[in-house]
Structure 1
Amino acid sequence: MGFVIGIDGGTESLRARVFDLTGACLGSASHAYDTHFSPGARAEQDPEDWWKALGIAVRRAVGEAGIPADAVEAIGLATTSCTVVALDRAGKALRPAIIWMDVRAEAEAAEVLATGDPALVVNCNGRGPVSAEWMIPKARWIARHEPGIFERAATICEYQDFMSLRLTGRRCASLDNVSMRWHYSTLRGGYPRSLVAKLGMEALLDKWPADVVAPGDVIGTLTAEAAAHLGLGLSVKVAQGGADAFIGMIGLGVSKPGQLALITGSSHLMFGVSATPVSVDGLWGTYADAVYPGLHIIEGGQTSTGSIINWLRRLAGGTLDLAALNAEAAALEPGCDGLLVLDHFQGNRTPYVDALSRGAFVGLTLGHGMPHLFRATIEGICFGTRAILDGMRGAGFTATEITIGGGATSSDLWLQIHADTAGLPVSVPASTEAPSLGAAILAGVGAGHFASIDEGMAAMVRPGRRIEPRPRESALYDDLYRRYAQLYPALKPFNPARA
């Protein structure tokens, strides 16, 4: 049996996992790296730290797996997206990488939106906003504020592309990343030349990799330097990956039209698979061919979800027993004795696209305790998810089931409320480490073990739990959701953030 490695290059660390071709994880290791923060919402990392972490994590994971290094046939990577690097002709970074959470390019993002270019259809049907996190605003910031760096840069790309270059020597970009964050479109002829021209940044087109490679396609084999760094053989293939959350769809087994991946953590990210392109105000996409050939991905997201639970924990002095709290909250009826939560604690990403919206607890009484606050928070988050699903339905995409990965899967209550509020079945695969498994599946495709990503998922994504919506609770939540939907417009005039 062959073995493959899935790499998950995250915000705080890089994790390597060794898998066999049935999806069993045999070895896992991670190595952390630093993020450097500075005023102006800036956050940067040293690309050499990613490379160092890759070597350490791969060697440790292979050692834990107890397999010979020459048994590894291929590797795939899932990394943070919108993490922009400027490289010289030798592939060395000219400055620290501007990572995804860095929003210094807010003014540049507004300038991109002001062009009104057709490529902006993926930004809420052209209405925007254009995120300051995305590639073009960040590249424009470099050109404006560090013109010497911009001029010297032979390549401006992302974390994913930097690693591909160091591993194989090939200068290329991931079709996944460029489709969703660079305004590239296979339906409109590739890179957004008209948009870039309107910004007077034609030079950027020469700095972007001309070679765009789809997920699962082989970029190349390891260079001698890379093989020595990772402790692997020269014959190891590197399969193209992409953005961690999108590659996570593969690790969750979500690839059929009507399926929706819900990736949970501090925030919620939703990715629906559609057979046809759709665009609508309040939602991102769709992105053609970004993950699967011939299919389109529609995107929604909630800014604050698990982070609100962490906020409750901090309010309680960090002493919350979440297992006990889940049990107590499960004994309450839907609606928590009249308590509703608006989940916009850090604004609303979709479907309102309102960064100034704020959260609220409505209906508090002296009879409410922490279990009420806990359950009402989960209900509010799940109502926020339903609002996005309703927006997708209005765009012509109707989810038939939700597949969940990440932090929320540790709470049976949370999973059940998601099913009840959405009125849809919820599936949880056996492995919820979706990005690394998705990257490993792509490695299996690249190694030739699977003829397609779907075939790889069928072999490596193991079934787990399935939660069905309960008719009584779903009916109760339908009424509560109508009340939740009134909170945002009712509270909007009273928001001090708008002063």
Structure 2
Amino acid sequence: MIDAERYYVGVDVGTGSARAALVDRTGRVLSRAEHPIQTWNPQPDFYQQSSDDIWAACCTVVKKVTSTVEVTQVRGVGFDATCSLVLLDTEGKPLTVSKSGENEQNIVLWMDHRATEQAERINTTHHAVLKYVGGAISPEMAPPKLLWLKENLGEACWEKAGHMFELPDYLTWRATGSASRSLCSLICKWTYSASDEWSDSFWQEIGLADLVSDNYAKIGCAVQSPGERVGKGLTKSAAVELGLAEGTAVGTSLIDAHAGGLGMVGADVKGHNLPCENQPITARLSLICGTSSCHMALSKDAIFVPGVWGPYFSAMVPGLWLNEGGQSATGKVIDHVIETHAAFPELKEKAKSSGKSVSEYLNTYLSGLASDRHLSSPATLVGSLHVWPDYHGNRSPLGDPSLTGMICGLRLSAGLQDLALLYLATVQALAYGTRHILEALQGAGHDISTLFMCGGLSKNPLFVQTHADVTGLPVVLPKEPESVLVGAAILGAYASGDFLTIQSAMGCMARVGSVLQPSLQDRRYHDKKYAVFLKMVENQREYASIMCST
């Protein structure tokens, strides 16, 4: 048995799995577990999941990570999840979001773009609330998805709906029985305002006035700040399912990316020779990179950034405004580029035989290729190969879901070397996307000097170093690679009463691991490739204009 007195459980539901960690009050992850969750993709742009499947996965992983401690030692639980839409009927049972009618499939996944046309219609209203989402609402947000459900599944779904949750809020409801919502979820994805609450005129104007008539009971009329204790803690039934004690504190939830920011951005950086050491926390950009990426920028005052979501008040750190940039597909784009290439079977076999992951093998291969060509780094291997990486639309700073991926510089060959070079060009393109977002943030008034990075892609040295080199900023990697889980645990720690504020919990539980400084030797090269990067989207829009002309 582990010999410490107080522990906290962080639960993170990502796109493909549910994870949990047992964390102590210093932020050390003592045990970790993961369980897959199912996704249905019945047609392009439609992605659906099951809330029952996700809850069962959460119960499995929580039981695993707490198996070595007494349940009375677990002081609090925090949940985070993707910003996906959950539909339940009036009795709290799953309600279909699928054209095929299966009630099991009751979640519209965050990356679902079925509501693109509805989002476009909402944006034509130019309603005042849209200025808080960069001027244009995304099909990944709740209002367009709700409008799609009303227009396409009225009888099967809309008319029977009793609860419409963001997935993080569904998890706290399932754990506590309380239908309170997180300020994070509602502000960031539902157009709620911390000061003005719901805008009746917005919902009426977009055709969802029926949500107003019952005082927003279906989408949230009780709102709490992240980390505040939800209800009376775990219900008896939830405690049994999770293997914990009834009444264990549950913190108000966060969206997964925001939990990642919470779990690392407050770390003490003294002694690491970082420019942000003597600067406020607002000088730190949190970059949470996995299937997609989120770029979290804090500010003391509200800053409006065209094409970037927010500003959102107290959505991540209490008392501070948040702007949220992002890329709709990052890890997913890298996987797509690799796995659809003709040389993937060869790559997979060679990586397996060498005992390396696919990315490790590719990184080593590129280093060898650079050495053979007497280059100081692999970066300049792809000077004639350019990628625009928005295979799933542009979230920031262009806010254009219609954009698609582009590649310039392909040849007739399709061997392992071609795959490795395309992988490198894609990684660079994603870093240029971060630079694009960073320039928009700084141009609007943010003063950012350091990147803090977590998520699956932060474990890829090439991805991390490329971001440092392209942005010219140092990248901080947290002591605990699982910062999202630490962030979720911080919610439980605060809810337990063991910390007086979220900030004090952040200061104790977030820690610096390693720091990667930017290399300046390839700066001119990256500046030129970035200029090509910007030209590519200009060209794509020009092509679209030509094809739409009469």
What is the TM-score when the length of structure 1 is the normalising length?
0.91
Tell me whether 1:226 sits opposite 2:238 in the alignment.
yes
Tell me whether 1:164 sits opposite 2:172 in the alignment.
yes
| Larger deviation, residues 193-202 vs 239-248 | 193-202
Quote the Cα distance in structure 1 between the aligned partners of 2:200 and 2:308. Answer: 24
Quote the Cα distance in structure 2 between the aligned partners of 1:470 and 1:33. Answer: 40
Q: 2:86 aligns with which of 71, 84, 87?
A: 84
Compared CA separation, residues 38 and 452, structure 1 to 2 (3 A): same
Q: How much does 1:444 deviate? A: 0.8
Q: SS at 1:8's partner residue?
A: strand
- State the one-letter code of the partner of 1:137: P
Compared CA separation, residues 147 and 484, structure 1 to 2 (3 A): closer
Q: How much does 1:201 deviate? A: 2.4
Q: Is the 8 A contact 1:84 1:98 kept in 2?
A: yes
How far does the alpha carbon of each residue in 1:48-92 deviate from its partner, in whole angstroms, 9 at most, with x for none? 2222222222112211xx11122111100001113232331x322
2:533 matched to which residue of 1?
484
Q: 1:471 aligns with which of 520, 524, 541?
A: 520
Compared CA separation, residues 338 and 229, structure 1 to 2 (3 A): closer
State how 1:104-119 maps to structure 2 within 5 Å.
104-119=114-129
Structure 2's unaligned 5+ residue stretches are 97-105, 268-280, 352-358
How far does the alpha carbon of each residue in 1:336-373 deviate from its partner, in whole angstroms, 9 at most, with x for none? 26324233350433223332343223487999855544
Tell me whether 1:213 sits opposite 2:215 in the alignment.
no
Q: 2:395 aligns with which of 327, 349, 359?
A: 349
How far does the alpha carbon of each residue in 1:436-486 deviate from its partner, in whole angstroms, 9 at most, with x for none? 211101111111122222221221122211111233333443344334333
Tell me whether 1:291 sits opposite 2:316 in the alignment.
yes
How far does the alpha carbon of each residue in 1:97-138 deviate from its partner, in whole angstroms, 9 at most, with x for none? 2222333223322232222210011232x2x2x222221122
Quote the Cα distance in structure 1 between the aligned partners of 2:362 and 2:53. Answer: 39
Tell me whether 1:54 sits opposite 2:91 in the alignment.
no
Quote the Cα distance in structure 2 between the aligned partners of 1:498 and 1:102. Answer: 26
Q: SS at 2:140's partner residue?
A: coil
Q: Is the 8 A contact 2:262 2:317 kept in 1?
A: no
Q: How much does 1:207 deviate? A: 1.8
Q: SS at 2:33's partner residue?
A: strand
Compared CA separation, residues 389 and 87, structure 1 to 2 (3 A): same
Tell me whether 1:120 sits opposite 2:130 in the alignment.
yes
Compared CA separation, residues 259 and 318, structure 1 to 2 (3 A): farther
1:10 matched to which residue of 2?
14
Quote the Cα distance in structure 2 between the aligned partners of 1:152 and 1:337. Answer: 54
- State the one-letter code of the partner of 2:463: W
- RMSD over aligned Cα, in angstroms? 2.6
- State the one-letter code of the partner of 2:256: D
1:326 matched to which residue of 2?
363
Quote the Cα distance in structure 2 between the aligned partners of 1:170 and 1:266. Answer: 30
Q: How much does 1:311 deviate? A: 3.7
Q: 2:194 aligns with which of 186, 198, 218?
A: 186
1:72 matched to which residue of 2?
74
2:460 matched to which residue of 1?
411
State how 1:256-267 maps to structure 2 within 5 Å.
256-267=281-292
Quote the Cα distance in structure 1 between the aligned partners of 2:175 and 2:395. Answer: 35
Q: SS at 2:21's partner residue?
A: strand
Quote the Cα distance in structure 1 between the aligned partners of 2:139 and 2:383. Answer: 39
Compared CA separation, residues 151 and 279, structure 1 to 2 (3 A): same
Compared CA separation, residues 198 and 251, structure 1 to 2 (3 A): same
Q: How much does 1:391 deviate? A: 1.1
Q: Is the 8 A contact 1:445 1:453 kept in 2?
A: yes
Quote the Cα distance in structure 1 between the aligned partners of 2:328 and 2:175. Answer: 34
Q: How much does 1:184 deviate? A: 0.7
2:265 matched to which residue of 1?
253
2:446 matched to which residue of 1?
397
Q: Is the 8 A contact 1:86 1:97 kept in 2?
A: no
- State the one-letter code of the partner of 1:169: G
Q: Is the 8 A contact 2:183 2:194 kept in 1?
A: no
- State the one-letter code of the partner of 2:388: D
- State the one-letter code of the partner of 2:500: A
Q: 2:429 aligns with which of 380, 383, 396?
A: 380
Q: Is the 8 A contact 1:84 1:138 kept in 2?
A: no
Quote the Cα distance in structure 1 between the aligned partners of 2:107 and 2:419. Answer: 42
| Larger deviation, residues 412-421 vs 312-321 | 312-321
- State the one-letter code of the partner of 2:218: K
Tell me whether 1:358 sits opposite 2:405 in the alignment.
yes
Q: Is the 8 A contact 2:338 2:423 kept in 1?
A: no
How far does the alpha carbon of each residue in 1:191-232 deviate from its partner, in whole angstroms, 9 at most, with x for none? 122201213423212322211011110003111111122121
Quote the Cα distance in structure 1 between the aligned partners of 2:504 and 2:410. Answer: 50
Q: Is the 8 A contact 1:357 1:492 kept in 2?
A: no
Q: Is the 8 A contact 2:388 2:536 kept in 1?
A: no
Q: Is the 8 A contact 1:389 1:398 kept in 2?
A: no
Q: How much does 1:298 deviate? A: 1.2
Q: SS at 1:219's partner residue?
A: coil
Q: Is the 8 A contact 2:235 2:247 kept in 1?
A: no
The alignment covers a number of residue pairs equal to 492
Q: Is the 8 A contact 1:254 1:260 kept in 2?
A: no
2:274 matched to which residue of 1?
none
Quote the Cα distance in structure 2 between the aligned partners of 1:385 and 1:295. Answer: 22
Quote the Cα distance in structure 1 between the aligned partners of 2:465 and 2:442. Answer: 21
1:145 matched to which residue of 2?
152
Compared CA separation, residues 240 and 371, structure 1 to 2 (3 A): same
Structure 1's unaligned 5+ residue stretches are none
Q: Is the 8 A contact 2:227 2:492 kept in 1?
A: yes
Q: Is the 8 A contact 1:358 1:495 kept in 2?
A: no
Compared CA separation, residues 268 and 40, structure 1 to 2 (3 A): closer
Compared CA separation, residues 263 and 207, structure 1 to 2 (3 A): same
Q: 1:426 aligns with which of 452, 467, 475?
A: 475
